[in-house]
Amino acid sequence: MASDLTDFIAGLPKVELHVHHVGSATPQTVARLAERHAGSTSVPADPALLADYFTFTDFEHFIEVYLSVVDLIRDAEDLATLTYDIGAGLADQSVRYAELTLTPYSSIARGISAEAYCEAVEDARLRVARDRGIELRWCFDIPGEPTMTGANVTLDVALKQRPDGLVSFGLGGPEAGISRARYADHFAAARAAGLRSVPHAGESTGPETMWDAVRHLGAERIGHGIAAARDAELMDHLREHDIALEVCPTSNVCTRSVPSLAEHPLPRLVAAGVPVTINSDDPPMFSTTLNREYQVAADLLGLDERGVAELARQAVRYSFLDERGKSGLLAEIDAYAKD
């Protein structure tokens, strides 16, 4: 890929719509926390060893490793530092607005109160906006699991704490064996309170998981959703109902959800008219960045600068940023692309 396109992407104003909180911890942050909690974690305290630690055999192994990193976030100070650093790192990539997926239950289950959790991330959100000019918003994410405890706690925190940055309600974790439909009441309550619906579906499972997310959870965007490429009717439905996919190409390869980038279904989805946005998921774990994911998408789709700028515009349009914010950011992209 030409270096001029790489440079263009680096300076292009962007939004990030699918990036996980703990999954965005840099190797340096993870190693520092692992050293702090030495003796009670399997995570290496040497950044050089983390590349091997973050090599996943399959999606289930990825979840296992991810949860071991979650366990390193043990107090409100850890939360605030992590959140601020994520925002600053995104700002370094010319990201102006990001919807960060948070899983409050994981921290609450480890002893951080709901109040302290929300205060910590809100403090970081305000500070990084002031210091770096990036706006962060939250998606509170249910950790898909056999019991309903996490779902109940997540909804309770979302509705009772309702931090200012909260805009949406999600569902993550393993897809296999975890029915989307079982969370219908939780999503109905969240949507009734004004939160937007953005469940994960169709990453490591088939199209039926996505149909369930649409039918039972009222999905307005879908995390990953690459399985739609196997179902022409589903792709038609997504296009006709303007339901965008949050596509994270490198992540899908690293979790073995697709065999290789060359076999990624992104081109089929775009050819079918399915709205897509490009995102990074858990970037340090997958040795990637949002800028890199734009490069990957440009390569898969054969895009030039004009096409890459349109990807950035599409992400703005499908964000939950207010209309004034969308207009301002679209104008900034237009001005940049004309230079």
Sorted by sequence, the CB contacts under 8 Å of residue 106 that are 6+ apart come out as 22, 67, 70, 73, 143
Query: Which amino acid type is present at position 196?
Result: R
pLDDT value, residue 48: 85
**End-to-end alpha-carbon separation of the chain, Å?**
21
Q: Which domains does the chain have, with CATH numbers?
A: 3-338 (3.20.20.140)
Instruction: Name 303's bridge partners.
Output: none
pLDDT tens readout for residues 60-95: 888 888 888 888 888 998 899 899 999 999 999 999
In DSSP notation, 143-179 reads E--SSSHHHHHHHHHHHHH--TTEEEEEEES--TT--
Q: Looking at 99, 122, 175, 203, which residue is catalytic?
A: 203
Q: Read off φ and ψ for residue 47, nearest 5 degrees.
A: -55, -30
- The sign of the dihedral angle between the CA atoms of 306, 309, 314, 317 is negative
Structure tokens at 231: 């179902």
Return the residue matching tokens 């939360």. 79
Whole-angstrom distance, CA of residue 57 vs CA of residue 181: 28
Query: Which amino acid type is present at position 54?
Result: F
Q: CB atoms < 10 A from the CB of 110, how many?
A: 13
The HSE-up count of residue 290 (CA atoms within 13 Å, CB side) is: 33
Whole-angstrom distance, CA of residue 170 vs CA of residue 112: 21
Return the residue matching tokens 């071991």. 68
Per-residue pLDDT of the chain in tens (339 residues, 90 and over written 9)? 346 999 999 999 999 999 999 889 888 888 888 888 888 888 989 888 888 888 888 888 888 888 888 888 889 988 998 999 999 999 999 999 999 999 999 999 999 999 999 999 999 999 999 999 999 999 999 998 899 999 999 999 999 999 999 999 999 988 989 999 999 999 999 999 999 999 999 999 999 999 999 999 999 999 999 999 999 999 999 999 999 999 999 999 999 999 999 999 999 999 999 999 999 999 988 999 999 999 999 999 999 999 999 999 999 999 999 999 999 999 999 999 997
Return the residue matching tokens 């996919």. 245
- The secondary structure element, H or E, covering residue 137 is strand 135-143
- Answer whether 12's CB lies under 8 Å from 94's CB: yes
The HSE-up count of residue 236 (CA atoms within 13 Å, CB side) is: 3
Q: CA dist 212 to 201, 215, 222, 227, Å?
A: 9, 5, 11, 13
Q: What is the Cα 105 distance to its own chain's centre?
A: 17
Whole-angstrom distance, CA of residue 308 vs CA of residue 225: 21
Overall size of the chain counted in residues: 339
Q: CA dist 53 to 25, 68, 109, 232, 287, Å?
A: 14, 11, 24, 38, 12
Q: What is the pTM (predicted TM-score) of this model?
A: 0.93
Whole-angstrom distance, CA of residue 48 vs CA of residue 13: 31
Return the residue matching tokens 């951080």. 112
Strands (E), the chain: 14-20, 95-102, 135-143, 166-172, 196-201, 221-224, 244-247, 276-278
Structure tokens at 247: 């596509």
Q: Is 221 exposed, middle or buried (0-12, 13-18, 19+ CB in 10 A)?
A: buried
Structure tokens at 132: 């770096």
Structure tokens at 31: 């190693």
Q: For residue 238, give the DSSP letter.
A: H
Is 135 considered catalytic here? no
